[in-house]
Amino acid sequence: MSDLALLLQRLSQLATGPLLVALVASAIVVSLIRNWRLALPVLIGQYVVVGIMLARVSQSGVAVIKILAGILVCLSLSIAAQRADDQRAARGESVAVERILHPSWRSVPAQVLLRAVATAFVLTAAFGAATRFPPPKATPDVALSAYVLIGAALLLAATASEALNAGIGLLMFISGVELVYAPLEPSVSVAVLLGFMTLALGVALSYLTLADVADRARAPT
């Protein structure tokens, strides 16, 4: 067993509580804050937590593939987002760093409040679904994590207009589905194919992220 797989196996023996809190917190952050400089590092962290949870219910090799595929996709998305920001900066539009350093306090509270209310509803629904419709063979913590990820992902994909944020939603959706599916089909080949699929999706999303900037530049004002 590789060192990474061994490390994951040890980490998977940690208490459930902190992992669950970290996963829910990451889902909340990604749902609320539509800024790639914050969202993508949080998404990497979320992939690590999902990997640790997968190691609890499946082979640690499966978890390693998940984490590596996730990190690669996040890196490719961040390169695309950085290039998109460069193009925005060249046109004199605001970029992600500026929005962190100089937030527009007039518009931020209204947007964040609306998303916070929607996220609260989604989390409540996820909790209800995890207790009333637990997926087969899933432990309660895995069930809750999966429902939180799927719920937050659907909210993000449905409400985000930018390709990057909607894409992050799709990636979270796949993570949630994998959490449900891993205990049912613990084979490494499925994990490899799911990892390959995540990479293909990541390439497409990076492409769309770049195209999004060109589109907004061309859009009539």
Partner 1 sequence: MLPVALLIIAVPLAAAIPALALRGLRIFELPIAVGACLFVILLLALPAAGGSTVLAIGSYQIELNAPLTILGRTLRVRDFDRYALILIFSAAALIFPLSVRANQGWTFVPLGLAMLSALSVALMIRPFVFSALALEVAASLAAMMIQVEREEAHEQHRVATLGALRFLTIVTLALPCFLGAGYVVAQATQAVAPDAATYAPAVTLLLIGFALLFGALPVFTWTHPVARDAPPLVTAFLATVYLGAITFLFLSFRQEYEWFRTSPLIVSAANLGGILMLAFGGLTAWAQRSFGRVMACGLAVEIGALLIQAGLGTVLSIEAIAIGIGARAISFGLLALGVSLLRQEFGSDEFDTLRGAGRRLVWAPLAIGIGGLSLAGLPGTIGFVSRWMSIRSLALGDQELMMLSILASASVGIAVVRGLGALLEVSPTPSPEDAPATLEMEAASRLETLRQLIGDVWGRLKARALHLSVIAPAVTIVWMGLAPHALALLAQSIANGYTFYR
Q: How far is CA 95 from CA 42, 61, 70, 187, in A?
A: 19, 38, 24, 43
- Name the one range near partner 1 by CB under 8 A: 27-35, 36-44, 75-83, 159-167: 159-167
User: Mapped to the 3 state alphabet, what secondary structure does the chain carry?
Assistant: CCHHHHHHHHHCCCCHHHHHHHHHHHHHHHHHCCCHHHHHHHHHHHHHHHHHHHHHHCCHHHHHHHHHHHHHHHHHHHHHHHHHHHHHHHCCCCCHHHHHHCCCCCCHHHHHHHHHHHHHHHHHHHHHHHHHCCCCCCCHHHHHHHHHHHHHHHHHHHHCCCHHHHHHHHHHHHHHHHHHHCCCCCCHHHHHHHHHHHHHHHHHHHHHHHHHHHHHHHCCC
Give 11 or 148: the residue with its C-beta nearer to partner 1. Answer: 148
- Name the one range near partner 1 by CB under 8 A: 9-17, 92-100, 102-110, 198-206: 198-206
Q: Which of 22, 118, 125, 203 binds partner 1 (CB under 8 A)?
A: 203
Size of the site for partner 1 (CB under 8 A): 35
Note whether 208 binds partner 1 by CB under 8 A.
Answer: yes
Note whether 79 binds partner 1 by CB under 8 A.
Answer: no
- Name the one range near partner 1 by CB under 8 A: 24-32, 38-46, 115-123, 199-207: 199-207
**Site map 125..144 versus partner 1, x via CB under 8 A:** -----------x--------
- Binders of partner 1 among residues 166 to 195 (CB under 8 A) are 166-167, 170, 173-174, 177, 180-181, 184-185, 187, 189-190, 192-194
Binding site for partner 1 (CB under 8 A): 136, 157, 163, 166-167, 170, 173-174, 177, 180-181, 184-185, 187, 189-190, 192-194, 196-197, 200-201, 203-205, 207-208, 211-212, 214-215, 218-220
